[in-house]
Amino acid sequence: MKIREIGKRGVLFTFEDGDSPMGCDTSVYLVLGEKRAYLCDTFLGPQWMDVIKQYLRSNGYEGRLIVFNTHSDFDHVWGNGAFDDSDILAHTLARKRMKERWEFDYSKLSRFRQVDIFMRLPNITFSDSLFFEDDGVEFRHMPGHTVCSSVCLDWQESVLFVGDLLEEPVPVTLWGDLVTFTETLKSLRNLNFSTVISAHSGVVGPELFEKNIEYIKDLLLRKEIAFPAGADDGAHPFNVKYLKYLKYEEMARAKEGESFDFSKFKREFWAFVGYDQERMAEESKIIIETPPEKYEEAWERYLHG
Query: Based on CB atoms, which residue is closest to Zn ion, 75 or 168?
Result: 75
Peptide bond into 169 cis (omega under 30): yes
Give the Cα separation of 142 and 145 in Å (integer): 9
Which is nearest to 272 in space by CA: 252, 295, 256? 295
- The CB-of-67 to Zn ion minimum distance in angstroms stands at 16
Query: Based on CB atoms, which residue is closest to Zn ion, 157 or 164?
Result: 164
- The CB-of-94 to Zn ion minimum distance in angstroms stands at 13
**SS3 category, 49:** helix
Give the up-direction half-sphere exposure of residue 175: CA atoms within 13 A in the CB hemisphere: 24
Q: Which residues bind Zn ion (CB under 5 A)?
A: 75, 164
Query: Based on CB atoms, which residue is closest to Zn ion, 166 or 298?
Result: 166
Can you name the residues that pair with 144 across neighbouring β-strands? none
Determine the longest span between alpha carbons in the chain, in angstroms: 60
**SS3 category, 290:** coil
Query: Based on CB atoms, which residue is closest to Zn ion, 105 or 157?
Result: 105
**Which sign, positive or negative, has the C-alpha torsion 159, 12, 201, 171?**
negative
- The CB-of-241 to Zn ion minimum distance in angstroms stands at 18
Strand ranges of the sheet holding 202-204, from the earlier edge strand across to the other edge: 129-132, 137-141, 150-154, 159-161, 195-198, 202-204
Query: Based on CB atoms, which residue is closest to Zn ion, 9 or 108?
Result: 108
- The CB-of-78 to Zn ion minimum distance in angstroms stands at 11
CA 291 to chain centre: 26
Query: Based on CB atoms, which residue is closest to Zn ion, 41 or 135?
Result: 41
- The CB-of-173 to Zn ion minimum distance in angstroms stands at 13
- The CB-of-41 to Zn ion minimum distance in angstroms stands at 8
- The CB-of-76 to Zn ion minimum distance in angstroms stands at 6
Query: Based on CB atoms, which residue is closest to Zn ion, 36 or 71?
Result: 71
Give the Cα separation of 93 and 72 in Å (integer): 8
For residue 40, give the H/E element and its range: strand 37-40
Give the Cα separation of 144 and 178 in Å (integer): 7
**Length, in residues, of the chain:** 305
Query: Based on CB atoms, which residue is closest to Zn ion, 28 or 273?
Result: 28
**SS3 category, 222:** coil
- The CB-of-105 to Zn ion minimum distance in angstroms stands at 12
